[in-house]
Amino acid sequence: MGGEKFPEVEGGGSLILAWQVKNKKVLVIGGGEVAAGRILNLLNADAKVVLISPRDGLNPEVAHRVEQKQIEYHDKKYEPSDLDDPAITMVMTAIDDPEASSRIWKLCKEKRIAANIADVPPECDFYFGSVHRDGPLQIMVSTNGNGPKMANIVRRRIAETLPSNIGEAIKKVGALRKKLRVLAPGDEQGPKRMKWMSKVCLQWSLEDLCDMTEQDMDDLLRNYGPDLIPTFEQLKLGESPDEWQFDGSFGWSCVI
């Protein structure tokens, strides 16, 4: 078709998504070390965590979450009726009982509840990767179950290449975008908003974005109407558009 080239299909991967579980009920079965990591991930995503596990099986970190009332806790062994709550949107098991885990998996399938059975890839609707977190920035590396340790190694290698203040810069960009949506609401403004924000990220350096204040944001937004982007230095000096002289150079770039 016209000699066009398209990407080759490479099967065997996973569809990596950012799953929004804020204020949604997630059931965790088991309270050991694996459960501790799962629970922390869920709390970081603002989920409502319900834990079922005998108290003598609680990891110290999990026990801390219980004591601080960060999660809803039931001191008991799992029962099939625990899945009857229609508000449960996800189930994660971390117990040392393969047969019980498989029964939970099958019941989740019957009820159409997404589930993750620890250490049993065939019985998982989703996997956990190795995640780097810096404020709003999250980067996940997955090996699709082939080598969790390798995922950690790759994730650390990626993190080492990132600027130490990239999380703060992203926060500032997010705050600027919110202000822009108030200034220029409506779907019809969408394309212009996107292009204007992209130009800001291309022209301003990472350090500029980190140093940007609320006043700088307001001053910068005055240039949205005429679709202009002053440099950080020009904004600070209060120069007018007819005083701007661009040299064609660009600083750090980001993707919105």
Q: Are residues 46 and 133 in the same domain?
A: no
Do 127 and 17 touch, CB atoms closer than 8 A? Answer: no
Give me the pLDDT at residue 253, please.
Answer: 45
| Mean pLDDT in residue range 137-162 | 90
Instruction: Among 101, 126, 151, give the residue marking a domain's end.
Output: 126
Give me the pLDDT at residue 190, please.
Answer: 94
The reply to whether 114 falls in a domain is yes
Kindly state the tokens that stand for 18: 């950012």
Tally of structural domains, the chain: 3
**What are the catalytic residues?**
119
pLDDT tens digit sequence for 50-69: 999 999 999 999 999 999 99
Give me the pLDDT at residue 250, please.
Answer: 43
Domain harbouring 60, CATH code: 3.40.50.720
Domain that holds residue 35: 25-126
Q: Are residues 99 and 38 in the same domain?
A: yes
Kindly state the tokens that stand for 102: 């498989």
The reply to whether 251 falls in a domain is no
Domain harbouring 203, CATH code: 1.10.3280
The reply to whether 252 falls in a domain is no
Tell me the three state secondary structure of residue 34.
helix
pLDDT above 50 (res 251): no
CA separation for the pair 226, 213 (Å, rounded): 22
Q: Are residues 122 and 135 in the same domain?
A: no
Give me the pLDDT at residue 256, please.
Answer: 43
| Mean pLDDT in residue range 21-44 | 96
The reply to whether 248 falls in a domain is no
Amino acid identity of residue 213, one-letter, is T
Q: Are residues 105 and 151 in the same domain?
A: no
Do 223 and 199 touch, CB atoms closer than 8 A? Answer: no
The pTM of this model reads 0.76
